[in-house]
Chain A
């Protein structure tokens, strides 16, 4: 039979017992990398696929951006004239809009795969399935940041409050990262549920309370000119939250599909 093209890998460390027939002319060569570089390559491939599909469909990003801007306008009208200083309400408004904008878009990351029957194609791929999670996480984070990039100027115009301050931007990034981490995980959990659009916010928003409190407190602290240590405490909380959930998601993601 000559050289086998491929061999079945052993389940543990035992040598493979079955070789497969020679392939001949197809010339297919695979480089099954087990390293971080190969893993990151797949994460990148999935993230780029997400962005390419989204660029053509404009299903998630457009909805998030429009929802965020509309919510800002509604809040602007609601609080107009009745609030002595806009800086009192802007931190809360910013983070409420971020949370609800995320809910609008996050559920689609896995629901779209289920609706279009493409999820099995990803699950069949010979890779740690957490790569799917991280690929989608990157795309979701980008959509959130894009919506926020347009939301901040809108709040500047409507509330005359400048949120383009380094500490606020760092806090917004960390909060968005944590939100995308949890949201992507829960979107996977609820993807096969018929009531996923309603279920996701019910599950997600309570878990996001720490991010909301830390983000709003940090934003308020910066606007009020609080000392660095006070603001730093909230930043630390966001970093801790992000680390906790990225590890949890990495460990849990494969189990979602095994179940």
Chain B
């Protein structure tokens, strides 16, 4: 996925990770403000706040069940917080109309793809839902970027786990959203695919996209992200908890 699937200059693909190339003084693309979420009596998120600026990659680390996916779903607009709000730009999700979802791409634990359809058919379908003008070239671009062009007419159920994950990433960037939510995007990827994913994340950063990602892989998080945050006991910490330090 090292081609211009996200935008920006071609040299941005090889840009080293580091400080974001896009001015960070702009309003944040994602602003999570005091989000609380309960499931029954259990408070999974206890006043989570964070910001992701344009051209910034923020990695969210936390143990299983810490609430990372819940937070991702809230930012994507799939779940509502019990308290607090999420702003995309300066638009609060609680007041936003459905068009706001156009500005978010989500890679979740599930690929969100139809197994009996081919990769081409899946992306064509989502291209129509996202109002893409002339979707064919864009679908072809992301399929080539995901290295699935030769298998584009095969049903997704015949794909390997890594291929499905690459197609899921292609689906998330199909409409070139400014906000990317990557919930453990490296799951199931082989080393070569992880490298192309890394190149894509760099490219997204260079193009001024805001990326919020979760991963269990400490080393990748450090390599990919401009900023590491830790979700512990339902709150955000900027310093790693002892267990994570031990792991690192």
Taking Cβ atoms with an 8 Å cutoff, the residues of A that contact B are 1, 5-6, 8-12, 16-18, 20-33, 38, 41-42, 45-46, 49, 52-53, 56-57, 116-118, 120-129, 258
**Interface contact A32-B102, CB-CB below 8 Å:** yes
Taking Cβ atoms with an 8 Å cutoff, the residues of B that contact A are 4-10, 22, 26-27, 29, 54-55, 73, 76-78, 80, 88-92, 95-104, 106, 108, 110-117, 121, 125-126, 128-134, 137-138, 141, 155, 171, 175-176, 178, 207-209
In addition to A32-B102, A126-B130, A128-B98, 7 A-B residue pairs with Cβ atoms within 8 Å of each other are A6-B103, A20-B89, A23-B7, A24-B9, A30-B130, A117-B112, A129-B98
Known: A25-B4, A30-B131, A30-B175. A20 touches B126 (CB 8 A): no
Residues on A with C-beta less than 8 A from B114 are 49, 53, 116, 118
Residues on A with C-beta less than 8 A from B128 are 41-42, 45
**Interface contact A29-B89, CB-CB below 8 Å:** no
Residues on A with C-beta less than 8 A from B134 are 29
Q: Give Cα A31 to B102, complex, Å.
A: 11
Known: A11-B91, A18-B89, A23-B176. A30 touches B112 (CB 8 A): no
**Interface contact A11-B92, CB-CB below 8 Å:** yes
Pairs A-B, 10 closest by C-beta atoms: A21-B208, A18-B89, A121-B112, A117-B110, A23-B7, A8-B89, A126-B102, A125-B129, A28-B176, A11-B95
**Interface contact B116-A53, CB-CB below 8 Å:** yes
Q: Give Cα A27 to B175, complex, Å.
A: 10
Residues on A with C-beta less than 8 A from B176 are 5, 23, 26, 28
Residues on A with C-beta less than 8 A from B115 are 116
**Interface contact B54-A20, CB-CB below 8 Å:** yes
Known: A5-B7, A120-B108. A45 touches B22 (CB 8 A): no
**Interface contact B129-A31, CB-CB below 8 Å:** no
Which residue in B4, B125, B132, B207 is a CB contact (below 8 Å) of A29? B132
Q: Give Cα A132 to B159, complex, Å.
A: 27
Known: A8-B103, A121-B171, A126-B101. A29 touches B6 (CB 8 A): no
**Interface contact B26-A18, CB-CB below 8 Å:** yes
**Interface contact B131-A33, CB-CB below 8 Å:** yes
For the A-B complex, the count of residue pairs with Cβ-Cβ distances under 8 Å equals 163
Which residue in B55, B104, B125 is a CB contact (below 8 Å) of A49? B125
Q: Give Cα A23 to B115, complex, Å.
A: 31
**Interface contact B138-A56, CB-CB below 8 Å:** no
**Interface contact A25-B8, CB-CB below 8 Å:** yes
**Nearest chain A CB to B204's CB is how many angstroms away?**
11
**Interface contact A124-B208, CB-CB below 8 Å:** no
Known: A24-B7, A126-B98, A127-B98. A120 touches B178 (CB 8 A): no
**Interface contact A42-B92, CB-CB below 8 Å:** no
**Interface contact A24-B78, CB-CB below 8 Å:** no
Known: A26-B176, A29-B134, A117-B110. A18 touches B27 (CB 8 A): yes
Considering residues B7, B104, B134, which has the most beta carbons from chain A within 10 angstroms of its beta carbon?
B7
Q: Give Cα A120 to B155, complex, Å.
A: 20
**Interface contact A29-B129, CB-CB below 8 Å:** no
Considering residues A26, A41, A118, which has the most beta carbons from chain B within 10 angstroms of its beta carbon?
A26
Q: Give Cα A38 to B133, complex, Å.
A: 12
Q: Give Cα A123 to B129, complex, Å.
A: 10
**Nearest chain B CB to A250's CB is how many angstroms away?**
14
**Nearest chain B CB to A251's CB is how many angstroms away?**
15
Residues on B with C-beta less than 8 A from A1 are 208
Q: Give Cα A98 to B113, complex, Å.
A: 32
**Nearest chain A CB to B132's CB is how many angstroms away?**
6
Which residue in A26, A118, A128 is a CB contact (below 8 Å) of B4? A26
